[in-house]
Amino acid sequence: MTNAKPDTMQAAAIDRFGGAELVTVRAVPVPEVGPSDVLIRVEVAGVASWDALEREGRYDGAFGMPSTFPYVLGWDCAGAVVAVGGQVSRFKEGDRVYAASMPVPKGGTYATYAVTDADNVSLIPAKLTIEQAGVMGWDALTALSGLEEIGLKQGDTVMIFGASGGIGHMAIQLAKRLGARVLAVASGDDGVALSRRLGADAIVNGRNGGRS
Taking only Cα atoms into account, the Rg of the chain, rounded to an integer number of angstroms, comes to: 19
Say if residues 130 and 124 touch (Cβ distance below 8 Å): yes
Give the model's pLDDT for residue 4: 57
Q: Are residues 14 and 101 in the same domain?
A: yes
Give the model's pLDDT for residue 158: 97
Q: Are residues 53 and 109 in the same domain?
A: yes
Beta bridge partners of 14: 71
Q: What is the pTM of this model?
A: 0.86
Looking at residue 183, which CATH number applies to its domain? 3.40.50.720
Q: Which of 117, 130, 124, 10 is nearest to 70 (CA)?
A: 10
Residue range of the domain that includes 18? 8-130
Q: Are residues 21 and 120 in the same domain?
A: yes
Looking at residue 57, which CATH number applies to its domain? 3.90.180.10
212 occurs within a structural domain: no
Whole-number Å distance between alpha carbons of 210 and 66:
47
SS3 112: coil
Q: Which of 42, 13, 15, 34 is nearest to 133 (CA)?
A: 42
Q: In a structure prediction context, what are the per-residue pLDDT tens digits for the chain, which is 212 residues long?
A: 445 578 999 999 999 999 999 999 999 999 999 999 999 999 999 998 899 999 999 989 887 878 889 999 999 999 999 999 999 999 999 999 999 988 777 889 999 999 999 999 999 999 999 999 999 999 999 999 999 999 999 999 999 999 999 999 999 999 999 999 999 999 999 999 999 999 999 999 988 865 55
Residue 61, CB half-sphere, CA atoms under 13 Å: how many?
Answer: 0
Q: Are residues 119 and 164 in the same domain?
A: no
What's the domain count of the chain?
2
Say if residues 57 and 140 touch (Cβ distance below 8 Å): no
Q: Are residues 66 and 27 in the same domain?
A: yes
Amino acid code (one letter) for 210: G
Helices (H), 34-129: 49-55
Cis before 70 (ω within 30): yes
Give the model's pLDDT for residue 77: 96
